[in-house]
């Protein structure tokens, strides 16, 4: 099951209560206060980790609660702070506050994290309140409750190359040919229901290719789950636009190409400006070469042709993709920091084992 959006309730742990206690020993029957403070409640932390591809592991649990801190004890013993509850998500996950509708953190890379619900502070024990005028304080504090909120997590697939096009344009077949991915392939539209990722090795370069489910006219307005599919190409460096040279439904391949380009522009002008390779597919079909040449003539640009079934044109396509990615990956000029130093990278504790509420 592929899940790319979940909404959960997170609650930080309450702080432990402070203790009211007095020293009572054989030769000090009226000793001073020695009640310790309560421990801090656990935070709820969202952390991006390698190895996860979607949010399915979070879809069956709605409430996540961190543990509360231990209560303070006598003899000036402070309560132990609770362990943080760490929820692991795949890189590319955007964490939002559901009710306030703002982004808490965009977890683009593995290792990034954000505290979404802080644990409550522990209460002070009566030893905290002793003074020269109050030698036997009986005040002590309860631990503060932890923060809680509803959050929405939305995954945007992180890939170097996005395969786009109308349904049944040959995207899944191409992905299965150039990588070890095994997407569902059939001769009917909308075979692909969710993005498939595959790692490709070509010319000593590794890159990730995403097979995006077929787009249709009106996708920018959400038709055909357009928003669900379009957001997965927002982070790709290169779009490979596959157009069926001789569409099985008799439609015009040039019009099909313009339909998807129009949807990209209306969804996000920034996305429409992304580098693109236009590729004619299913070149093993009769009349495909003439259709490809007509596309080249009318668009005034090169339109390579491929056949994922026979393998025709695929090595040349990979060569072109690598050339674009090499340009994309060239390091930018380093910007001098205003302070002249390197910003510190925060650390987060390792994930703890515990059953959330």
Residue 117 predicted with pLDDT over 90: yes
Residue 300 predicted with pLDDT over 80: yes
Let me know whether 249 and 318 are in one domain.
yes
| 350 in a structural domain | no
Burial of 166 (0-12, 13-18, 19+ CB in 10 A): buried
Structural domain tally of the chain? 2
Burial of 97 (0-12, 13-18, 19+ CB in 10 A): middle
Residue 239: phi, psi to the nearest 5? -105, 125
Let me know whether 182 and 319 are in one domain.
yes
| 8 in a structural domain | yes
Let me know whether 262 and 180 are in one domain.
yes
Give the mean model confidence (pLDDT) for residues 176-193: 60
Let me know whether 172 and 206 are in one domain.
yes
| 260 in a structural domain | yes
Let me know whether 131 and 243 are in one domain.
no
* Boundary residue ending a domain (155, 172, 204): 155
| 18 in a structural domain | yes
Residue 343 predicted with pLDDT over 80: no
The chain-wide mean pLDDT, for the chain, equals 82
CATH of the domain at 60: 2.70.210.12
Return d(Cα 210, Cα 196) in angstroms, integer.
6
Residue 240 structural domain? 161-328
* Boundary residue ending a domain (108, 131, 155): 155
Let me know whether 182 and 292 are in one domain.
yes
Of residues 204 and 186, more confidently modeled: 204
Residue 11 predicted with pLDDT over 70: yes
| 194 in a structural domain | yes
Nearest in space to 246 (alpha carbons), one of 292, 190, 314, 186: 292
Q: What is the largest CA-CA distance in the chain?
A: 105
Let me know whether 171 and 314 are in one domain.
yes
Is the model's pTM score more than 0.85?
A: no
Let me know whether 177 and 322 are in one domain.
yes
Burial of 324 (0-12, 13-18, 19+ CB in 10 A): middle
* Boundary residue ending a domain (155, 176, 201): 155
In the chain, the DSSP E strands lie at 5-11, 44-48, 63-65, 85-89, 93-97, 102-107, 113-117, 148-155, 161-164, 196-202, 205-211, 238-244, 276-281
Let me know whether 194 and 247 are in one domain.
yes
| 172 in a structural domain | yes
Return d(Cα 65, Cα 11) in angstroms, integer.
5
pLDDT band per the 50, 70, 90 thresholds, residue 354: very low
What per-residue confidence (pLDDT) applies to 158?
Answer: 76
Q: Write down the residue that tokens 């522990």 correspond to.
A: 122
Give the mean model confidence (pLDDT) for residues 73-90: 92
CATH of the domain at 218: 3.40.50.300
Give the mean model confidence (pLDDT) for residues 242-252: 87
Let me know whether 89 and 214 are in one domain.
no
Residue 1 predicted with pLDDT over 70: no
| 179 in a structural domain | yes
Return d(Cα 167, Cα 153) in angstroms, integer.
27
Let me know whether 144 and 274 are in one domain.
no
The distance from CA 45 to its chain's CA centroid, rounded to whole angstroms, is 14
Those residues with Cβ within 8 angstroms of residue 353's Cβ, 6 or more apart along the chain or in another chain: none
Most trustworthy range by pLDDT among 26-35, 214-223, 233-242, 326-335: 233-242
Q: Are strands 113-117 and 44-48 parallel, antiparallel or unpaired?
A: antiparallel
| 191 in a structural domain | yes
Lowest mean pLDDT among 204-208, 215-219, 253-257, 343-347: 343-347
The answer to whether the CB of 256 falls within 8 A of the CB of 164 is no
Let me know whether 45 and 139 are in one domain.
yes
């Amino acid at each position: 099951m592929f899940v790319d959006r979940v909404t959960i309730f997170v609650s930080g742990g309450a702080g432990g209560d402070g203790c009211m206690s007095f020293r009572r020993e054989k030769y000090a029957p009226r000793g001073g206060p020695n009640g310790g403070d309560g421990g801090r409640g656990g935070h709820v932390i969202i952390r991006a980790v390698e190895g996860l591809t979607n949010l399915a592991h979070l879809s069956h649990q709605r409430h996540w609660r961190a543990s509360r801190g231990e209560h303070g004890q006598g003899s000036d013993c402070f309560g132990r702070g609770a362990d943080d509850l760490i929820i692991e998500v795949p890189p590319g996950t955007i964490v939002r506050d559901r009710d306030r509708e703002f982004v808490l953190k965009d977890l683009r890379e593995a290792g990034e994290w954000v505290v979404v619900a802080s644990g409550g502070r522990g209460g002070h024990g009566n030893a905290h309140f002793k003074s020269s005028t109050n030698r036997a304080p009986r005040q002590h504090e309860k631990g503060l409750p932890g923060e809680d909120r509803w959050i929405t997590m939305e995954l945007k697939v992180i890939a170097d190359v996005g395969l786009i096009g109308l349904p049944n344009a040959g995207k899944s077949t191409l992905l299965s040919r150039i990588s070890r991915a095994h997407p569902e392939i059939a001769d009917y539209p909308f075979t692909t229901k969710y993005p498939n990722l595959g790692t490709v090795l070509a010319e000593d370069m590794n890159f990730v290719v995403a097979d995006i489910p077929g787009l249709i006219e009106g996708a920018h307005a959400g038709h055909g789950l357009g928003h669900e599919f379009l957001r997965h190409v927002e982070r790709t460096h290169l779009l490979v636009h596959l157009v069926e040279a001789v569409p099985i439904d008799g439609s015009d391949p040039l019009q099909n190409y313009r339909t998807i380009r129009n949807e990209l522009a209306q969804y996000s002008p920034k996305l429409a400006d992304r580098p693109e390779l236009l590729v004619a597919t299913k070149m093993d079909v009769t009349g495909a070469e003439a259709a490809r040449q007509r596309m080249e003539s009318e668009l005034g640009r090169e339109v390579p042709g491929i056949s994922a079934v026979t393998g025709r044109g695929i090595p040349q396509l990979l060569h072109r993709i690598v050339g674009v990615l090499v340009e994309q990956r060239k390091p930018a000029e380093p910007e001098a920091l205003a302070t002249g130093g390197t910003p510190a990278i925060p650390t987060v504790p390792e994930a703890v084992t515990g059953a959330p509420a």
